Structure 1
Amino acid sequence: MHKIVFGVLFGAMSLAQAASGFVFSAEPGPHGVGLRTVQQYDYSRTYKARIDVLTRQPSSGERARPLQTLIWYPAAKGGAPVHYIDYLRTVATEEDFHRPAAEIDKVTSTSISGIWTTLSAATIRGEEARPMWAVRNARPAAGKFPVVIYAPSFNASAHENVDLCEYLASQGYVVISTAAIGPHGRAMTMDLEGVEAQAGDIEFLVGYAQSLPQADAAHIAVIGYSWGGLANVLAAARDSRISALVSLDGSVRYFPELVRSAKYVSPERLTAPFMYIAARPRSMEEHATRKFDMSSNLLNDIKYADFYKLTMNPMEHSNFSSEFQRFASDGDRGLDEYTREETSLAMSWMARYVAQFLNAYLKNDTAGLAFMANAPAKNGVPAHMLMVDRRASSGLPPTLDTFAAGLGQRGFGHASEVYAEMQKKHPDFKLGDQVLIDWGYQLLRANKVKESIEIFKLATIVDPKSANAFDSLAEAYQQADDKALAIKNYQRSLELDPSNTNAVERLKTLHAGVTKPAAG
């Protein structure tokens, strides 16, 4: 048995009394909780540099990105639970999967005493000894379950919100997390490269979920806390397979300059239902003193997704981590007017709202939807605990996908009408001629000639000076054996671009003369 665990398990009453006072009171769901640790690499990304900056020698070992992954899953009930120290020990192997046990002991002990410097040794040992819900390698429950990816805060480890992760597993979710490490070293970097590295980790886990027998990978949510609550927004903007977003006081609110620099992040690409759970609001005077950039706020711009904002009055930013609540001393908590019991209770209610939101949007559960629609008091929330703002989606975003869906309903023959209607509703909406030309050729290669003609026709409407669009339309007419319209459109393409040799050769094939463009 690990020496620290041995010491605390047999300390009994004195150590139990030394625990911090954090109580997670959300009731477990119908399932037991299993736990697995998987040590894997993302071989598509480099992590270690060719030369180690410390030794100035070539880097040794695997250079791919290490992703030690914790998996909590619905399981049969029963079995010996892990203790909190078991989660703390995973920190030592986040980068190096091959550390010996003695070195893991040393790193674990050093990291705990180095971070939680204001707590007594007895209190730390009391927390380490706490039994958790999870049972290592427990027998998985039968069935398929939606997937939740948890993205930790800046530099944080995968277990930082273990109470939330275990709770969601008990409620019927497969929960996956990996540490927030930097692009090329353990330290996260506070820049676009850093947050995109974590977004890449999320995308890796989306792919990894496909391999898990219990995972219903068609229903995936990403929960991000702080920095992870910026990374998950970037990931969702890039991957429409993410079905729901939860942000625990996420940095998407606090780093608008990084949001702006990730130009692919836009309201049109954020269509997954989104719940932002915020710390208690700061005053305008505090914002002015801190010189916080309030010139833009992506949360205000979200309009093509159901959006919820919960404000947790007893919680400052750090209180969204259950590890912080376990180990922070009273002087670290920054909430003099709230007791530990109140902040613990707030975290438990936060977890309930997360579960109900996921039930509503990943399981299509009517009770979850009703819970989210209720006033907090109707859900049994204590007075003054939290506030909820709701904003329903305004409909489908003005995108190529929405346009394609409209054609699916009304037919390709109505392409120009559907496009005009979308432009009337969204004046900034525009499909480039090249996008339409590429689409048209996909249809042509699939032998959907009539449909391709309609898309190429739209391309000539979108850009009536595009020689390429008329050339493509002529090719589709030629494949449809409509010689007259093929000739007409090849000639129009030549008028726009006299150097179009393809049109010249095609007209020769059609035994048609080349009409020279009018002078001037």
Structure 2
Amino acid sequence: MRLLLSATLLVAFTATAHADPGFANLQPGPLAVGWKTVQQYDASRTYRGTIDAVTGKAVQGERSRPIQTLVWYPARKGGEPVRYGDYVRTEATDEAFELTPAQVAAQAATARKEIEARLGAAPAAAMLAQRMWAVRDAAPAAGKYPVVIYAPGVGGPGHEPADLGEYLASHGYIVIASRNLGARTRMLVPDSEGVDTQMRDIQFLLSYARSLPQADMTQVAVAGWSWGGMTNVFAAERDSRIRALVSLDGTREPEQTRRIDPHRITVPWLYIQRRPSTVSELSKAGVETSFSLLNEVAYADVRQMVMYPMRHGDFSSAALRLAQPGYFQEYSRAEVEQAYHWTARYVLEFLNATLKNDAAGRAFLARAPIENGVPRHMASIQHAPARPGPVPNREGFAAALAQRGFGKAAELYAELHGRNKAFVLTDYEINNWGYALLRQAGNVQDAIAMFTFGTTLYPDNANLYDSLGEAQEYVGDTAAAVTSYRRSLALDPSNVNAATRVAKLAPVQASR
């Protein structure tokens, strides 16, 4: 792991800097902002094989997955702010950390030419020279701050959330992002492997966040745009450290999202989308509308917001900055940027409400957009509160048992299984659960209750009766233990353990 040193690796764009309150008129919060870029590898995965998938030549050097990590964080005041061009230049080393300064400079020059071709020389120079809020490698501010892991869209650079990252950092968040790289090449393929690839990148960044002294790992959110706004849901399904979800027009691919168990999505979720497509537009695009994960998630508090001036690419400020005049149609650039402004504001207030338990944030979310100052007809929001009661999955079942008592396992299981037919406990799971309780001091009676529940659910399972007998024998209930062992033997005469225990315990029982 090493820091990317701009003094030796980067060549500055030469243009006149100018002050700017922030893209889309975003106003900084009370904290100064620091930014650093860390080059590190995920050694648990390979990125390059023995043969380069692009050039066809033998691979030399490091083959582990490169994760160039951009971090925005609350900082102490002081220092010279970076320019937007500094963010753009990080693309040169997204996947190749070993580039020489000359190679980085050449790629930076190519990037500048591409931007000039889109915007013109003067606008490109002004954009690249824009003074940002962040100071490179600034000293971190004292204190602990919630963490936001950001997942870019397909092929999106690590600096995609630069404007949002600075904005959130100035309000007391650590924002971490890396490029959306494919499994083996620079461009990610939008398929199941692509989902897994970015989801594991998110998990890697979560692990990296633990090394930051400022990071409050009890308060973690994941955010993302487009494909990243979908894969972060996969991450939330599997990683209980994630406390909140933000999807900026996240991809809705039923082929992929059907693989998510909606009952495992239980954290607050803010989904901000572009203006809805018409039925004919959806039909022409071949979009399936019979399934929406947002409608299936019943045990999460979901807010779905529509920003009417925005199209899909507008949720990435990196893309919106490069939009040509002809791109804007019935809405002007000013109106679209204003919508982006409010998008960022809603993300901030949602995170304040969910991670910081901020009363002002909760009140903001409870009001209609127009009451918060959003221009009329710009936005609408729907709120679907989380369904009350135990969540019908393993964790929800365990939590409910802890509250109601393990003796209620049979009736509680029937209730939850009735609400989610996919929630099924096998005899093997129940048996292991009972032994886990048995090994924990003070949980012997709970273990007996669990084994008893197992014999109720699987009355022909000899092993569960044998396990129940062992638990009953452990507490000295010899009569009950013998009954259970005998039932096990009746179901499985080859059960040596049950036969041995009956031979030892039955005479003791008869002598009493």
TM-score range, shorter chain: over 0.9
SS at 1:49 equivalent: coil
Distance 1:280 1:53, change over 3 A: closer
Give me the whole-angstrom Cα distance separating, in 2, the residues matched to 1:206 and 1:4. 31
Look up the match of 2:400.
406
Give me the whole-angstrom Cα distance separating, in 1, the residues matched to 2:175 and 2:15. 28
Look up the match of 2:152.
152
Look up the match of 2:4.
none
Give me the whole-angstrom Cα distance separating, in 2, the residues matched to 1:479 and 1:51. 60
SS at 1:5 equivalent: coil
How far is 1:29 from its partner?
0.9
Distance 1:324 1:428, change over 3 A: closer
Distance 1:242 1:278, change over 3 A: same
Look up the match of 1:328.
323
User: Is it true that 1:391 corresponds to 2:384 in the alignment?
Assistant: yes
Look up the match of 1:118.
118
User: Is it true that 1:475 corresponds to 2:475 in the alignment?
Assistant: no
Residues 23 and 341 in structure 1, CA contact (< 8 A), matched pair in contact too: no
Look up the match of 1:315.
310
AA matched with 1:486: A
How far is 1:100 from its partner?
1.2
How far is 1:471 from its partner?
1.5
Look up the match of 2:194.
194
Distance 1:52 1:118, change over 3 A: closer
AA matched with 2:334: E
CA distances 1:240-264 after superposition (whole Å, capped 9, x unpaired)? 111000000001x2x111122xx3x
- Determine which of 472, 487, 505 is the counterpart of 1:492: 487
AA matched with 1:110: T
AA matched with 1:389: Q
Give me the whole-angstrom Cα distance separating, in 2, the residues matched to 1:485 and 1:510. 11
Residues 32 and 134 in structure 2, CA contact (< 8 A), matched pair in contact too: yes
Give me the whole-angstrom Cα distance separating, in 2, the residues matched to 1:401 and 1:236. 14
Look up the match of 1:415.
409
Give me the whole-angstrom Cα distance separating, in 1, the residues matched to 2:110 and 2:277. 35
SS at 2:271 equivalent: strand
Where does 1:63-462 land on structure 2 (aligned, <5 Å)?
Answer: 63-114=63-114, 117-251=117-251, 253=252, 255-260=253-258, 263=259, 265-331=260-326, 333=327, 335-395=328-388, 396-423=390-417, 429-447=423-441, 448-462=443-457
SS at 2:184 equivalent: coil
Distance 1:81 1:499, change over 3 A: same
How far is 1:130 from its partner?
0.6
Give me the whole-angstrom Cα distance separating, in 1, the residues matched to 2:50 and 2:444. 52
Distance 1:48 1:219, change over 3 A: same
Residues 487 and 512 in structure 1, CA contact (< 8 A), matched pair in contact too: no
AA matched with 1:373: A
SS at 1:149 equivalent: strand
Distance 1:237 1:425, change over 3 A: closer
Distance 1:504 1:384, change over 3 A: same
Look up the match of 1:503.
498
CA distances 1:74-131 after superposition (whole Å, capped 9, x unpaired)? 1123321000111111111111112111101111222443467432122212111111
Give me the whole-angstrom Cα distance separating, in 1, the residues matched to 2:175 and 2:302. 22
Distance 1:385 1:486, change over 3 A: same
AA matched with 1:348: H
Distance 1:3 1:121, change over 3 A: farther
User: Is it true that 1:7 corresponds to 2:14 in the alignment?
Assistant: yes
Distance 1:53 1:221, change over 3 A: closer
Look up the match of 1:516.
none
TM-score by length of structure 1 reads: 0.91
SS at 1:184 equivalent: coil
Residues 394 and 423 in structure 2, CA contact (< 8 A), matched pair in contact too: no
SS at 1:343 equivalent: helix
Give me the whole-angstrom Cα distance separating, in 1, the residues matched to 2:310 and 2:55. 44
Which region of structure 1 is more displaced relative to structure 2, 139-148 or 402-411?
A: 402-411
CA RMSD of aligned residues (A): 2.2
Identity of paired residues, percent?
48
User: Is it true that 1:38 corresponds to 2:38 in the alignment?
Assistant: yes
Give me the whole-angstrom Cα distance separating, in 2, the residues matched to 1:353 and 1:269. 25
AA matched with 1:386: A
Give me the whole-angstrom Cα distance separating, in 2, the residues matched to 1:377 and 1:259. 32
SS at 1:79 equivalent: coil
How far is 1:302 from its partner?
1.3
Give me the whole-angstrom Cα distance separating, in 2, the residues matched to 1:486 and 1:115. 78
Residues 279 and 317 in structure 1, CA contact (< 8 A), matched pair in contact too: yes
AA matched with 1:497: D
Can you give the 5+ residue segments of structure 2 that lack an aligned partner in the other structure?
Answer: 1-6
Look up the match of 1:518.
none
Distance 1:54 1:305, change over 3 A: closer
AA matched with 1:267: P
Residues 298 and 387 in structure 2, CA contact (< 8 A), matched pair in contact too: yes
SS at 1:102 equivalent: helix
SS at 2:305 equivalent: strand
Give me the whole-angstrom Cα distance separating, in 1, the residues matched to 2:304 and 2:91. 32
SS at 1:491 equivalent: helix
Residues 280 and 312 in structure 1, CA contact (< 8 A), matched pair in contact too: yes
AA matched with 2:12: V
CA distances 1:163-215 after superposition (whole Å, capped 9, x unpaired)? 11100000100110011001112110111001110000111111111111001
Residues 31 and 170 in structure 1, CA contact (< 8 A), matched pair in contact too: yes
How far is 1:22 from its partner?
9.1
Residues 432 and 462 in structure 1, CA contact (< 8 A), matched pair in contact too: no
Give me the whole-angstrom Cα distance separating, in 2, the residues matched to 1:282 and 1:269. 29
SS at 1:124 equivalent: helix
CA distances 1:23-67 after superposition (whole Å, capped 9, x unpaired)? 421221110100111111111112111333456554221211111
Give me the whole-angstrom Cα distance separating, in 2, the residues matched to 1:425 and 1:98. 54
Look up the match of 2:28.
28
How far is 1:401 from its partner?
1.5
SS at 2:138 equivalent: coil
Distance 1:141 1:127, change over 3 A: same
Give me the whole-angstrom Cα distance separating, in 2, the residues matched to 1:420 and 1:91. 54
SS at 1:172 equivalent: coil
Can you give the 5+ residue segments of structure 1 that lack an aligned partner in the other structure?
Answer: 514-520
CA distances 1:3-27 after superposition (whole Å, capped 9, x unpaired)? 9635213xx6xxx79x9x9942122
SS at 1:403 equivalent: helix
Distance 1:56 1:287, change over 3 A: closer
CA distances 1:390-447 after superposition (whole Å, capped 9, x unpaired)? 1100124112222222222233333334334444655664322222211111111224
Residues 22 and 326 in structure 1, CA contact (< 8 A), matched pair in contact too: no
AA matched with 1:345: Q
Which region of structure 1 is more displaced relative to structure 2, 127-136 or 501-510?
A: 501-510
